[in-house]
Amino acid sequence: MRRVGAGDLSDDECGVRLLGPDGVMREHPRFASLLSAEDLRSCYGAMLRARHLDDQATALQRQGELALWIPLRGQEAAQVGSVRAALTSDFVFPSYREHAVAWDRGLPAVEVLRLLRGSTHGGWNPADHNLANYALVLASQTLHAVGYALGLQLDAQRGHADVATVVPEAAGNAIVGRPRILGDGAPNADAEELLGRPTIEGERKASGSPDELVGRPTNIRERATVGRPTNAEHGPGAAVLVYLGDGAMSQGDANEAFVWAASFAAPVVFFCTNNQWAISTPASRQSRVPLADRANGFGFPGVRVDGNDVVAVHSVTSWALERARRGDGPTLIEAYTYRMGPHTTSDDPARYRPAEQEAVWRARDPIDRVARLLASDHDDAWFAAQRAEAEQAAVRLREAVLALPEPRPDAFFDDVLVTETDEARAERARFRAYQESFQA
């Protein structure tokens, strides 16, 4: 049996493709482009900006300003194309590499780097952008996403007009369809309240401040949507878009999430970014078939798409999300792409994968692909302006990171105990002494 994931797949084996590496649009029997000329220009700008921000973050880590960075190079089309298929009312669950997803969703670019600098131990308010925080425990976000999707399902059954404004705590109760019961058999009043009414949108505090690095307001309710329909066009309802990698497909949490999603026809789309390497483990060692084919065993559709084709990714994800909103259940999308950089900045891919493979995929660069399509209608000056804008965004990001407060190494003691014990104080003192020993 031929093993997949070797990096030498033909064009046909890459899945649904609408825009070829040569920049020429192609026809497909099931899917067509949903992007206008303006949408394509916007996608190109977002992908280019994401790469420059990503490269700047890598440089900051190398210079000691970040503890770690998780590069996204090569996966710009998969991220931008998919997230632009989501409505503002849809909820997005990233893993830990979906920086372009977060930025395009309206999160200020510096917020991601704040985490990896150690300037914050939290993250962002998921309600501000309908965007969950990063999941560092592999595949855990898939269970969270399905739970949230089941909550949306229950809210819709209870007649809420805008399920996107209902608090997510209802998700865990969706399975039984009733508020949880306390030990004495009495319904929990708090749970009843959470399940029984939507939150008031006016009570949700959104910053409304512009994100100068992304160029759109951070309040997702007010943000202009480019290349995606509005909720008014589709009526009430929402779906969940959750990201995972090829490595996470081998985790128990992901497969458990598939079972629950299939059993309850949850309105969720699993977007698997198959970048062919789970750190140093090739996808060929994890699966003897395309990952999208695994969906058949759970009873829902799976589609492989060329993850370097932003047009096809957007089209397939739009179809899957609309299917979820109609109540037709989950879909697994396998975006076949390539991790052009290291797994993280602590990794050296030259130790485990051949340079020839990297050369093949550099020729399939997702940004160059869109540039070839746009070249017939745009001159060098237009492309230069796009690059200049992306470079300026990277400069602003660098300035924002350098303005962040220095991480305080012993800060992780602060949020462990409400009242610090003698033992905890002694541990903190030993840790401080250890840190100070490097400055002697």
Residue ranges per domain, the chain?
Answer: 19-159+228-407, 409-439
Q: How confident is the model at residue 51 (pLDDT cuts 50, 70, 90)?
A: very high
Distance CA 118, CA 114 (A): 6
Residue 390 φ then ψ, to 5°: -65, -40
Statement: residue 161 has pLDDT above 70: no
Of 328 and 224, which is predicted with more confidence?
A: 328
On whether the CB atoms of residues 188 and 180 are closer than 8 A, the answer is yes
Region 195-199 average pLDDT = 29
Statement: residue 206 has pLDDT above 70: no
State residue 10's pLDDT score: 59
Distance CA 430, CA 440 (A): 15
Distance CA 52, CA 66 (A): 16
CATH 3.40.50.980 fits 19-159+228-407, yes or no: no
Range list of β-strands (E), 94-232: 210-211, 216-217
Distance CA 259, CA 301 (A): 13
Triad 353, 82, 40: Cα angle to 5°: 100
End-to-end distance of the chain based on CA atoms, in angstroms? 61
Residue 142's H or E segment, with its range, is helix 140-157
Statement: residue 183 has pLDDT above 60: no
DSSP H helical ranges for 247-337: 252-263, 283-286, 295-298, 310-325
Place of tokens 């503890």: 67
Q: Which residues contact 74 (CB under 8 A, 6 or more apart)?
A: 275, 308, 337, 338, 339, 340, 341, 361, 365, 366
Distance CA 252, CA 240 (A): 20
State residue 285's pLDDT score: 87
The tens digit of pLDDT for each residue in 258-287 reads: 999 999 999 999 999 999 888 888 888 888
- Select from 278, 282, 305 the least CA-distant residue to 6: 282
Radius of gyration from C-alpha coordinates of the chain: 22
State residue 283's pLDDT score: 86
Tell me the β-bridge partners of 57.
none
Distances (CA, A) of 15 to 112, 285, 336, 362, 373: 31, 20, 7, 18, 20
State both tokens at 2: 């031929």
Mean pLDDT value across the chain: 83
DSSP label at residue 140? H
Tell me the β-bridge partners of 274.
336
The tens digit of pLDDT for each residue in 315-332 reads: 999 999 999 999 999 999
DSSP label at residue 98? -
The burial class, CB within 10 Å (0-12 / 13-18 / 19+), for 209 is exposed
State residue 189's pLDDT score: 34
Statement: residue 380 has pLDDT above 90: yes
What percent of the chain has a predicted confidence (pLDDT) above 70? 80
Distance CA 294, CA 123 (A): 33
